[in-house]
Amino acid sequence: MPELPDITIYLEALAPRIVGQPLERARIVSPSLLRTVDPPLSAAEGRKVVGLRRLGKRILWEMEGKIFLVFHLMIAGRFKWRPAGTKPPAKVGLASFDFPTGTLLLTEASPKKRASLHVVAGEAGLSAHDRGGLDVLAADLPAFKARLQSESHTLKRALTDPRLFDGIGNAYSDEILHAAKLSPFQLSTKLSDEEAARLHVATQRILREWIERLREEAGGDFPEKVTAFRKEMAVHGKYKEPCPVCGSPVQRIRYAANEANYCATCQTGGRVLADRSLSRLLKADWPRSLEEWEARIG
């Protein structure tokens, strides 16, 4: 799922291509994409894009007249920039948006088609899409710690809860916790002051590093390789591969469709955590799947 760094790079790539440009035509291919009827999507056609912003893991287009298009890419949704007039691909195409500068395609590889588009009138209408998560890149330590410990959850769950923190998902939570040398299953209310400070520093550092890394990778072009699995990551998606810090094999915990990757040496004092021993904790603290979690409050 595109997370804060990926969404940031999407916005940077979209800005010079569509801001100040009129949306000439919006064509929905998959009926499941559009989740609102009033105002209609046609209300945005002919209007210029006057601004772009991120709201959690959502991408917002502000059109003239305070009409907003709110995109949630979910797990498999992706944007593709193509020459003007390009049609959406047959199997994975959800929609196309034509501008004088080119055509933006929205695709989704998953057959579940969870990506969504809401058309909203006025700033007040955006409140329904704001989960209230803290902007972690702007937050100081007291604000970060207060939000982290406002509820008792595993650190993995807390970081990925959009009501608590803004834009962090499965991939970057693994990387953040590895950098902070903290167990994904340590309870947020049990952190020491030093551990909370370490997590705050790691959260900001990892997200900023990946924003810069993805920016360099794109090189001014439109990002085409948006993925949660990257070879430069330390632990996410690296089960059984050596930890880049200590060389120990990366471990994995699965519960239903959830997964956490960690280094036992760096994060859990050398203890390899068994799926069975954590099942009760995960059942109480995690939804049955990340897709379910995102669909419910993401």
The CATH number that applies at residue 165 is: 1.10.8.50
Number of domains in the chain: 2
Q: With respect to residue 154, please indicate whether it lies within any of the assigned structural domains.
A: yes
Indicate the SS3 state at residue 136: coil
Q: With respect to residue 180, please indicate whether it lies within any of the assigned structural domains.
A: yes
pLDDT of residue 287: 46
- Distance between CA 136 and CA 134 in Å, rounded? 6
The amino acid sitting at 207 is: L
Q: What is the full per-residue pLDDT of the chain (298 aa) written as tens digits?
A: 799 999 999 999 999 999 999 999 999 999 999 999 999 999 999 999 999 999 999 999 999 999 999 999 998 999 999 999 999 998 999 999 999 999 999 999 988 889 999 999 999 989 889 989 999 999 999 999 999 999 999 999 999 999 999 999 999 999 999 999 999 989 999 999 999 999 999 999 999 999 999 999 999 999 998 988 899 999 999 999 999 999 999 998 887 667 899 999 999 998 887 655 455 555 555 444 434 444 444 5
pLDDT of residue 119: 97
Helix axes 193-218, 170-180, angle to 10 degrees: 130
Residues spanned by the domain of 225: 141-297
pLDDT of residue 133: 95
Q: With respect to residue 278, please indicate whether it lies within any of the assigned structural domains.
A: yes
101, 214: one domain: no
What would the two tokens of residue 155 be? 């650190």
CA distance to 51, 76, 126, 181, 281, per residue, from 258 (Å) = 35, 16, 29, 21, 13
Task: Assess contact for 9 and 16: CB atoms under 8 A.
Answer: no
Q: With respect to residue 136, please indicate whether it lies within any of the assigned structural domains.
A: no
Q: With respect to residue 208, please indicate whether it lies within any of the assigned structural domains.
A: yes
User: 0.95 exceeded by the pTM?
Assistant: no
CATH number for the domain harbouring residue 66 = 3.20.190.10
Last residue of a domain, which of 102, 129, 156?
129
| Chain position carrying tokens 């859990």 | 268
- Distance between CA 151 and CA 102 in Å, rounded? 46
96, 148: one domain: no
Listing DSSP states for 146-207 in one string gives: HHHTSS--BHHHHHH-TTTBSS--HHHHHHHHHHHT--TTSBGGG--HHHHHHHHHHHHHHH
Burial class (CB in 10 A: 0-12, 13-18, 19+), 220: exposed
- Distance between CA 256 and CA 271 in Å, rounded? 22
pLDDT of residue 113: 87
280, 154: one domain: yes
pLDDT of residue 94: 97
150, 279: one domain: yes
- Distance between CA 172 and CA 122 in Å, rounded? 32
H-run or E-run covering 135: none
Q: Buried b vs exposed e over 139-178: b needs ≥16 C-beta within 10 Å?
A: beeeebbebbbeeebbbbbbbbbbebbbbbbbbbbbbbbb
159, 292: one domain: yes
